[in-house]
Structure 1
Amino acid sequence: MKPFVFFSFVLIGILWLIQSMPRLDDVISNGQSGLVFIKISILIFPQVMLIVLPISAFASTIYAIHKLISESELLIFANAGISNTRLIIPILIFGCSVCAILYFLSLYLVPLSQNKLRTDLYNIREEFSNRLIKDQQFFHPIKGVTIYIRESTENGNIKGIFITDARQNDNRVTYSAREAIMSRTENGLMLVMQNGLLQVLDSTKTALTTLKFKRMGFELNNFLPIGPRKDISPVEIFPFSIISNPEKFGKENIL
């Protein structure tokens, strides 16, 4: 058991550190605290265990057998009347115990933690994007896009908004509205503008198309550095969920 604990501790520490460091950059760049990084690291831990435990079990078993041979303990057991079959029993018990732990990790704990990890990382980026847009300041999330908000509230209500999109060389599109509501959907942030004006200026700057609207909505994923929430990956799926509802997990819903 001691070799198994030693190999597991060393390998888990190395792999856990390797997988946690890229997440540290996400946490720092999005202005989160150290507690958030600790939470994310904990969510990574089950997958690290799933990778490391089989390697540690194999290495510790080889080490134990090598030690029995090198120290002539097998001869002592043979002289004591203990057969090789009886010596295999502890190895089988150890292997079954590790296998049970791996089943628990792969069937339940890893899908649960990875799904939670994906959701938390998405929320971190989205929260950071929400904080970027401040009242009475021009915000340039990406090249060619400018957003200005006169006044906003915590529940997403906006009084006075101006958006200009000059990413396309052919046209410059400008949105302006007296009121707007920003809400969160499954696909990201949704902005619904009310009582506004849409203006399109062509590349020659000679033709201006104007359209008044009472209500217009579009997703902000193309404007803000968050992107739509990605579909689930195979490691996040509970195996029993596939059996009970196979239509839900088609190829179009899995990375």
Structure 2
Amino acid sequence: MTLIQGYLFRQIARPVVGACAALAGIGILSQSLDQLEVIVERGQSVWVMVKLTLLAVPQLLAVIIPIGLFVGALIALTRLQREQELTAVFASGVTRWSAIRPAVRIAAIAALLTLVVTTVGQPWAQRQARAEAFAVRTDLAALLVEEGRFVKGPNGLTVYVQQIEQNGLLKNLFVYMLDGDDAVTWDAAEARFGRIDGRPVLTMVNASTTRYSSRGVLTYGSFAQTVIDLSPYAAVTERVRYKPSDLYLPQLFNPSPGDLERVGSAGELMAEAHSRLSAPLYALMGMAMALTAIMGGQFSRTGYSLRIAKVAGVFLVVRIAGYGVVSASAWNGWLNVFQYLLPIVATGVALRLLFQALKPRRRPVWPALERLKARFA
């Protein structure tokens, strides 16, 4: 890479990274607002919300990278053209292809990153998020604890908490449960839910218990600290249900009977697999369209707003059509080929317009006029 190419690479890469970071920030903010339910309604910690939000980032990146590449490249190329830096580059003897090569390298890096995200990062993060959400949904503490209310749980368990502190400490706890035919009540000044060897437990401080047996015998006891095993009340019969976006490529192309039963049809899995493999092509398409918008026509002193608007509209239409093809491919397998053809054709058309514009225009040849000139020369 020459000095000029390195300069162009940096000038284009910085806006691209900035655009991707800005779009990712917007996506993370949107995801964090959606995950507020985990704190408000489920009583989970802030760390759980942050973890669920960050696990959604790989899936966002698969959508953000092509768009951020297109927007960032437009910003960088517009500035280079407006400040006559591209004109200076061409005047120094750099060929058109050499000037475009840094942008092509950036597009190739973005495409490779998108491929890694869609094939490795997204399924791993989605599986972790699905398991975390399942743990939150089946969390006994979230199901049984609601400040100032009696909450009935499974197998006759009833819990009342007067106050819940931010660190999860429960104040003035009351628990009613059935132990066989005996009715048992507990009350404690402080308590906290936890796990020991994977089993849910309730640790109580300054607690007392009353047991009323079926024979009419009443017993009472007090403890400075005690632990109650809640595993009989936490039996979970559900399983984590995955979606096609949670599976790895080998599972999508060669699904087991269990995957087809729990995740979706073979057509849906195949459409998801081809969608991940074709996603990097949109990064190449975005860079090709950005180059065409700025360098794919005649020089204009008034700017390229109209040309940029047209190219941006085409990019948006093609990307939306790509999502439509993915949905249609789930029911018509032969449409999967269009997941690749759509971005490839759009990239080819953009490159053709770009290189056609870079060729010097030849004056039209009129045979009769040429003969007339030759006769009077």
Q: TM-score range by the shorter chain?
A: 0.5 to 0.7
The reply to whether residue 30 of structure 1 matches residue 42 of structure 2 is yes
> Structure 2 length as normaliser, TM-score?
0.44
> Structure 1 length as normaliser, TM-score?
0.63
* Bigger share in helix: 2
Q: 2:23 is matched with which residue?
A: 11
Q: 1:46 is matched with which residue?
A: 58
What is the alpha-carbon distance in structure 2 between the residues aligned to residue 114 and residue 68 of structure 1?
A: 40
Q: 1:242 is matched with which residue?
A: 252
Determine if contact 1:138/1:146 at 8 Å carries over to the other structure: no
Answer with 1 or 2: which has the greater Rg: 2
Name the aligned partner's letter for residue 12 of structure 1: A
Larger RCO (CA within 8 A; separation ≥ 6) = 2
Q: Deviations over 1:72-102 (max 9, x none)?
A: 2222122211111111111111001001111
**Alignment length (residue pairs):** 189
The reply to whether residue 150 of structure 1 matches residue 178 of structure 2 is yes
Name the aligned partner's letter for residue 231 of structure 1: R
What is the alpha-carbon distance in structure 2 between the residues aligned to residue 20 and residue 229 of structure 1?
A: 25
* Bigger share in strand: 1
| Unaligned stretches of 5+ residues in structure 1 | 161-179, 191-227
Determine if contact 1:233/1:254 at 8 Å carries over to the other structure: yes
The reply to whether residue 132 of structure 1 matches residue 144 of structure 2 is yes
Give the Å deviation of 1:7. 1.1
What is the alpha-carbon distance in structure 1 between the residues aligned to residue 27 and residue 263 of structure 2?
A: 29
What is the alpha-carbon distance in structure 1 between the residues aligned to residue 264 and residue 39 of structure 2?
A: 26
Q: 1:20 is matched with which residue?
A: 32
What is the alpha-carbon distance in structure 2 between the residues aligned to residue 83 and residue 97 of structure 1?
A: 22
Q: 1:120 is matched with which residue?
A: 132
Choose the corresponding residue for 1:253, options 233, 241, 263: 263
Determine if contact 2:42/2:143 at 8 Å carries over to the other structure: no
Q: Deviations over 1:169-188 (max 9, x none)?
A: xxxxxxxxxxx94564xxxx
Determine if contact 1:30/1:128 at 8 Å carries over to the other structure: no
What is the alpha-carbon distance in structure 1 between the residues aligned to residue 82 and residue 255 of structure 2?
A: 54
Secondary structure of the structure 1 residue equivalent to 2:156: strand
Determine if contact 1:3/1:60 at 8 Å carries over to the other structure: yes
What is the alpha-carbon distance in structure 2 between the residues aligned to residue 58 and residue 130 of structure 1?
A: 44
Determine if contact 2:140/2:234 at 8 Å carries over to the other structure: no
| Of 41-50 and 124-133, the range deviating more from structure 2 | 124-133
Name the aligned partner's letter for residue 156 of structure 2: I
The sequence identity of aligned pairs, in percent, is: 19
Give the Å deviation of 1:26. 2.0
Pairwise CA RMSD: 3.4
Secondary structure of the structure 1 residue equivalent to 2:139: helix
Determine if contact 2:35/2:49 at 8 Å carries over to the other structure: yes
The reply to whether residue 105 of structure 1 matches residue 114 of structure 2 is no
| Unaligned stretches of 5+ residues in structure 2 | 1-12, 158-176, 185-194, 202-210, 213-230, 266-377
- 1:187-202 matches, within 5 Å, as 189-190=236-237
Give the Å deviation of 1:230. 5.5
Structure 1 residues 251 and 96: alpha-carbon distance in aligned structure 2, compared to 1, 3 A threshold: farther
Give the Å deviation of 1:131. 5.5
Name the aligned partner's letter for residue 136 of structure 2: I
What is the alpha-carbon distance in structure 1 between the residues aligned to residue 70 and residue 261 of structure 2?
A: 35
